[in-house]
Amino acid sequence: MRQLRYGTLIPPGFIVEQASREGAEVRIAVRHQTRWGLCPGCGTQSGRVHSRYRRCLADLPMAGRPVRLLLLARRFRCGSVCCGRRIFTERFDPDVLAPWARRTTRLEAVVHTLAIALGGRPAARLARRLVLPVGKDTLLRVVRRRGSPPPVPPTVVGIDDWAWRRNRRYGTIICDLERRRTIALLPDREPATALEWLSSQRQIAVVARDRGGSYALAAAKALPHATQVADRWHLMENASRAFLDAVRTSIRQIRGVLGATTVDPLLLTAAERIQHEGYLRREETNLAILGLAKEGAAIKEIVRRTGHSRGLVRKVLRGQHADVFRVREHSLEVHLPWLEAQWTAGLRNGAELWRRLRQHGFRGSLRVVTEWATRRRKAEKADCSALGRTPSARTIARLLTIGRDGLSKSETITVAAIEDGVPPLVEARDIIAAFQGMIRKRSLADLKPWLARSQASLVASFAAGVTKDLAAVAAAISLPWSNGQTEGQVTKLKLVKRQMYGRGKIDLLQARVIGAA
């Protein structure tokens, strides 16, 4: 068995002269192995010692005790005639000890890793537990000093903004989309700042950016030959918003259509009948309130005479209490009473219902009956109050765009009424769906016909926006690059920023976000 020697515990290149304990601390006096030094001015070797001095260095802890190396360092005289330096201090392998450093390189590396992973305060807490002799400020200083390694020159970048402070101050983040990492943080989102950075990276061939014009402009100026890609996520989002706007524009017609719908209570399921009765009650209320208002009664007066709350009266008068209820013709119509009875008796299996119903002369398919069962189940769960208010534009937009299978019976009724009554909205929906499908399926050939088709529609202004940014939108459809990844990096960045509390200075943030990879 070999004996453990002090020499194996300290960084290579040094010789232990003496070791002692001073309180909790282990102190090891060391000197350099070599007898000469290299002049940093001229590279000449010199063994002529001018003087000695002590360097006190923190090193990795040993068996739970902090370690201090007491290094007796030397100054040499430079013997070269041509050299301007007369005296120089001895240098060490930078992998062991940097000039002027107060920590060994191996300790510094641990400290750096810790600071990058956790940030100042949490890293300091962990460092204390690990007996590493560094405080919060030292940790941050190490991160700052080490900075971040220069990135591999990128060819495909994503650029986006991110919030330093929500709605107050924004910065710019740039990601290498091929290597999937953040490569730069800029202190603001000014076009000039982005322009300057992009100009220094002439090799960039593709820039993915959102549809805000300023990055597009900066990229066009800095890298006129680069392909710009509109962000797919934003395109999808903008398309959905365009449809929502179309719904808002059509809301008057929608209200008209929904208000005109009628219901035959005999065709309703039991649950629907309850809802329908509620609907009739509310309708009655509305009529009474509106009638009084027409006669010139003030809100106070209406409240007194009808006994309804002030809030409700206000709502009705504002037209926010309008109701909707309608069912469509159904192929199951004549069988509904029978089905309803079976359902109430507890038979709720669609296939079984269909088999029995066929014996009653039903010629329809299995699907019709299972669909009825599904809707019946939903109707049972349906919240009666859901029928009590006019759906908002947002809700209507959602109902019109999700598949029929996802709708409850009352929602299906609403959707059908709007589809029948407001055809331009149906067209707008189809146009938006076509756009989103085009992006998903990467079918660039459809773009031109799509633009022609949408020209006179409710979403014409969205189409005009697409035309304005045509090349970038086309690139978004045909190229694999997208800014979605950059958004992911922004999320990561926010996490790091939150850990840093108020100390989120950009160089520190940059060091932690970029140095961490």
Closer to Zn ion by Cβ: residue 42 or 220: 42
Does 387 bind Zn ion (CB under 5 A)? Our answer is no
Angle (CA) 512-515-517 rounded to 5° is 110
Tokens (6 digits) for 390: 């006019």
Calpha distance 53→98 (Å, rounded): 16
Work out how close the CB of 99 gets to Zn ion at its nearest, in angstroms, rounded to a whole number: 16
Work out how close the CB of 92 gets to Zn ion at its nearest, in angstroms, rounded to a whole number: 18
Work out how close the CB of 45 gets to Zn ion at its nearest, in angstroms, rounded to a whole number: 10
| Residues 42-81 contacting Zn ion, CB under 5 A | 42, 78, 80
Among positions 28, 30, 39, 397, the unique one binding Zn ion when judged by CB under 5 A = 39
| Residues 208-237 contacting Zn ion, CB under 5 A | none
Closer to Zn ion by Cβ: residue 39 or 142: 39
300, with CB counted inside 10 A (0-12, 13-18, 19+), is exposed
Work out how close the CB of 86 gets to Zn ion at its nearest, in angstroms, rounded to a whole number: 8
| Residues 340-359 contacting Zn ion, CB under 5 A | none
Angle between helices 423-441 and 447-454 (to 10 degrees): 160
Work out how close the CB of 31 gets to Zn ion at its nearest, in angstroms, rounded to a whole number: 22
Work out how close the CB of 73 gets to Zn ion at its nearest, in angstroms, rounded to a whole number: 18
Segment near Zn ion (CB under 5 A); pick from 31-39, 56-64, 237-245, 341-349 = 31-39
111, with CB counted inside 10 A (0-12, 13-18, 19+), is buried
Judge whether 59 and 10 are in contact, CB under 8 Å: yes
């509310």: which residue's tokens? 282
Closer to Zn ion by Cβ: residue 43 or 406: 43
Calpha distance 431→426 (Å, rounded): 9
Binding to Zn ion by CB under 5 A, coded x per residue (else -) over 79-98, reads -x--x-x-------------
Torsion angle in degrees (nearest 10) through CA of 256, 259, 264, 267: 90
Judge whether 229 and 205 are in contact, CB under 8 Å: no
Work out how close the CB of 87 gets to Zn ion at its nearest, in angstroms, rounded to a whole number: 9
Closer to Zn ion by Cβ: residue 39 or 257: 39
Judge whether 460 and 297 are in contact, CB under 8 Å: no
Tokens (6 digits) for 315: 């709502």
Pairing status of strand 87-89 against strand 49-62: unpaired
Work out how close the CB of 78 gets to Zn ion at its nearest, in angstroms, rounded to a whole number: 3
Work out how close the CB of 94 gets to Zn ion at its nearest, in angstroms, rounded to a whole number: 19
Does 41 bind Zn ion (CB under 5 A)? Our answer is yes
Task: Give the Å distances, CA to CA, from 28 to 34, 106, 131, 305.
Answer: 18, 16, 17, 95
Closer to Zn ion by Cβ: residue 79 or 388: 79
Closer to Zn ion by Cβ: residue 48 or 394: 48
Calpha distance 514→517 (Å, rounded): 6
Closer to Zn ion by Cβ: residue 45 or 370: 45
Closer to Zn ion by Cβ: residue 40 or 151: 40
**Would you mind telling me the total number of residues written for the chain in this entry?**
517
Closer to Zn ion by Cβ: residue 76 or 372: 76
Calpha distance 362→355 (Å, rounded): 9
Work out how close the CB of 48 gets to Zn ion at its nearest, in angstroms, rounded to a whole number: 12
Q: What are phi and psi of 76, to 5 degrees?
A: -110, 160
Calpha distance 46→217 (Å, rounded): 59
Closer to Zn ion by Cβ: residue 61 or 79: 79
Work out how close the CB of 46 gets to Zn ion at its nearest, in angstroms, rounded to a whole number: 8
Closer to Zn ion by Cβ: residue 46 or 286: 46
Segment near Zn ion (CB under 5 A); pick from 39-47, 131-139, 273-281, 286-294 = 39-47
Segment near Zn ion (CB under 5 A); pick from 37-45, 146-154, 246-254, 428-436 = 37-45
Q: What are phi and psi of 169, to 5 degrees?
A: -140, 135
SS3 label, residue 30: strand
Work out how close the CB of 44 gets to Zn ion at its nearest, in angstroms, rounded to a whole number: 5
Closer to Zn ion by Cβ: residue 83 or 366: 83
Tokens (6 digits) for 49: 């010692």
Number of residues that bind Zn ion (CB under 5 A): 7
Work out how close the CB of 36 gets to Zn ion at its nearest, in angstroms, rounded to a whole number: 13
Q: Which amino acid is at 58?
A: A
Segment near Zn ion (CB under 5 A); pick from 32-40, 215-223, 339-347, 460-468 = 32-40
Angle between helices 270-294 and 310-317 (to 10 degrees): 80
> What number of other Cβ atoms are within 10 A of residue 198's Cβ?
23
252, with CB counted inside 10 A (0-12, 13-18, 19+), is exposed
Closer to Zn ion by Cβ: residue 16 or 83: 83
Tokens (6 digits) for 247: 């719904």
Interface with Zn ion by CB under 5 A: which residues? 39, 41-42, 78, 80, 83, 85
